[in-house]
Amino acid sequence: MPSIVVLVILLLLTLAPVNAFAQSATALLDAVGKAMGAPVTTIQYTGTGGVYATGQSAVPGLPWPEFNLKSYTRSVNYDTASLRDEQVRTQALDPPRGGGLQPIRGEQRLTLLANVDYAWNIVGEQPVPAPITLAERQFQAWATPHGVLRAARANNATVQGRTIVFAVPNRFMLRATVGDDNLITKVDGVIPNPVVGDLPVEITYSEYRNFGGVMFPTRIREKTGGFPSLDLMVSDVRANAAVDIQAPDAVRQAANPYTRVTSQKMADGLWYLTGGTHHSVVIEMKDYVMVVEAPLNEERTVAVLAETKKLVPGKPIRYVINSHHHYDHAGGLRTFAAEGITVVTHEVNKSFFEHALAAPATVRPDMQAKAARRPTVEGVRGRLSLTDGARTVDVYHIAGNLHHDGLLMVYLPNEKLLSEADAYTPLAPDAAPPMPPSPFTVNLSDNITRLGLAVGDIAPLHGRIVPVAELQRTIGKNP
Ligand SMILES: [Zn+2]
């Protein structure tokens, strides 16, 4: 008998191989659907646990910094391709170490949304576009167990043994493993990332329970780039409840938030480039130009490079100075590398960037994936001084800062101007200083004193230009 079955299968494969594979994919998806209690059009689950800020470790190679997840609710509507995450986070690390808006004082509430081609956050009461997060949020929606089923059917999934495989072009690739009980036990995804190209995400689903006829995991563990990014204990699940998530008009009609660059002249040959959330500084030297910081993504960097070439026509851009490796501050470096521009960073980031800036970007090929240019990365230890006889640019290590082990700042002694990221971001003019002050800011002040820098103004890479007295006020020191 078995040999006849094998023969029949072989015959079918020979006669109609494509159809036979399609049938086996459908059979497995049907079996998974039956086991999980489909059809499910919306899912809403709540829980507690830990969440980790991807790309925000204190140094490359360390795990992502952890936050307590006091509450977590994810709502997904598969019919409208939409997702809403509501998180309440509290500080886990004491002392704070790494990024992710540490230290959190009290509770931090995050509301993160996506709907088809739009991604946005709610800040205060207002929707703020966040297109940089779209691919990741769509992956998160379709990587939920019932989402895998829906997306697999919609994207011509193939089946290899007990693994379902499909891709959504420019968004993600996904492989789901089906257990013996026909429940999805694991999802391996690849999403595009501006810093590292292809970024692997691994989600394990375990301890399934029956919630009113729908099976759902009560333990969800996720790793991003090899380190934990979520560990969730699920306490409640509601299937097919009303989940109405629509991109608001303010988000649909918003201009691209990354391409708007506003330049402000600070001195001859010195400009502050703003217009978004993360800034850059352009410094003209006698024979070349350097840019301080390549934040966010390729779109931002193309706009920053265009503005730089407009401000200083005819001189080559030789260096880009990276304050630290956090992904929101390094997302433009692959684009600089594609242009053949040398990346200057702290020594602790050197090998990470040499690898990341040459890594493949297959899900969404970027300029560097196409250029395939070998990146040039220069590591700074304590200090790097660049001068053309008239202008001097000193790059210093902000030693002992808990935000990042290799945090760099740029100081122009003639102009008495300091530029830095994340050690100090100016408060709103009338805001009360935090008590106790941020240890990151106190450390920056200590470094300015240690190095004997006669700082006049600070041009921070978040916020606005302020006199150094404003920094001293923030940490409760009299100037
Ligand atoms: Zn940072």
Which residues share a beta bridge with 410? 395, 419
Q: How far is the CA of 260 from the centre of ligand 1 (A)?
A: 22
Q: How far is the CA of 170 from the centre of ligand 1 (A)?
A: 27
pLDDT per residue over 441-471, tens digit each? 999 999 999 999 999 999 999 999 999 999 9
Tell me which amino acid residue 110 is: L
Q: How far is the CA of 296 from the centre of ligand 1 (A)?
A: 12
Which residues share a beta bridge with 44? 75, 238
Q: How far is the CA of 403 from the centre of ligand 1 (A)?
A: 6
Distance CA 126, CA 124 (A): 6
pTM of the entire structure?
Answer: 0.94
Share of the chain above pLDDT 70, in %: 95
Per-block average pLDDT, block size 10, for the chain (479 residues)?
A: 48 47 79 92 98 98 98 98 98 96 95 98 96 97 97 95 95 97 98 98 98 97 98 98 97 96 98 97 98 98 98 98 98 98 98 98 97 97 96 98 98 98 94 93 98 98 98 87
Closest CA to 154 of 64, 90, 79, 223: 79
Distance CA 383, CA 317 (A): 21
* Mean pLDDT value across the chain: 94
Distance CA 183, CA 324 (A): 42
Q: How far is the CA of 251 from the centre of ligand 1 (A)?
A: 26
